[in-house]
Amino acid sequence: MNDRLQVECGPRERNGSRIVIASLGDVVHRDRLDVDRDSERRKFRERACKKFGLGDDAHEAIESQLIQAADNQDEGADSLWQPIATTLADVVPSTPKYLWPGRMPFGMLTCADGDGGVGKGLSIMDIAARGSRGDAQPPHNAPDGTFEPWSKLFVTSEDSDEYVLRPRAEAAGVNLERIHTISSVEIP
């Protein structure tokens, strides 16, 4: 049995909170909090002291271990690819807004899948061109420039930037400053 207080922190979630686990012997206190907020650290310390049967003099030790555990977790985050965890209980359900109703939601990944040479890239480039200029998308009818222009990210390994995407974008009348591409990912 380990009678030494130990505090561990998980990675920072999208909302700033983390899973924090404190243990003393066989007793474990688990909580979710934003370690950067004094009020949340104070509540964590109070609950941990109560659960472990510790006096007020333990607050300083818990505080220092809590901050050190969060710092250690952050320093260990040297990878470019870090998962961002979300607890579904923290998610507020909502209905997506669509660029193209029923087919292409705003702010989400849209995948065009099919055999090569059937016009996937050409169709997506047409949609990107309209969006980059603020023009209406199918099936809407509105004067060109009616909507706020937006940017687009192409992730493709099928079409090269210089031989296919750039010439196709120019032919479609794309605002080139609003179109970005990724053809590969380098993992250090």
- Condensed to tens digits (0 to 9), the pLDDT of residues 52-99 reads 999 988 989 999 999 999 988 888 754 445 677 888 999 999 998 887
pLDDT tens digits, one per residue of 6-19: 999 888 888 888 99
Residue 188: what pLDDT?
A: 43
Structure pTM?
0.49
Say if residue 109 is in the same domain as residue 84.
Answer: no
The answer to whether 152 touches 178, Cβ cutoff 8 Å, is: yes
Domain-ending residue, one of 89, 110, 135: 89
> Tokens in use for 40?
């949340």
Q: Distance (Å, rounded) from C-alpha 67 to C-alpha 60? A: 11
Q: Answer whether residue 111 shows pLDDT above 80.
A: yes
Say if residue 59 is in the same domain as residue 106.
Answer: no
Say if residue 70 is in the same domain as residue 113.
Answer: no
DSSP 8-state symbol, 109: -
Say if residue 14 is in the same domain as residue 77.
Answer: yes
Residue 110 included in any domain: yes
Say if residue 102 is in the same domain as residue 79.
Answer: no
Out of 74-83, 162-171, 176-185, the most confident range is 162-171
Say if residue 106 is in the same domain as residue 85.
Answer: no
Say if residue 178 is in the same domain as residue 110.
Answer: yes
pLDDT tens digits, one per residue of 135-151: 877 766 777 767 788 88
Q: State which residues form the domain around 143.
A: 98-182
Domain-ending residue, one of 48, 66, 89: 89
Say if residue 80 is in the same domain as residue 132.
Answer: no
Say if residue 176 is in the same domain as residue 102.
Answer: yes
**Amino acid sitting at position 98:** Y
The answer to whether 133 touches 144, Cβ cutoff 8 Å, is: yes
Q: Where are the alpha helices (DSSP H) in 80-165?
A: 120-133
Domain count of the chain? 2
Domain-ending residue, one of 25, 60, 89: 89
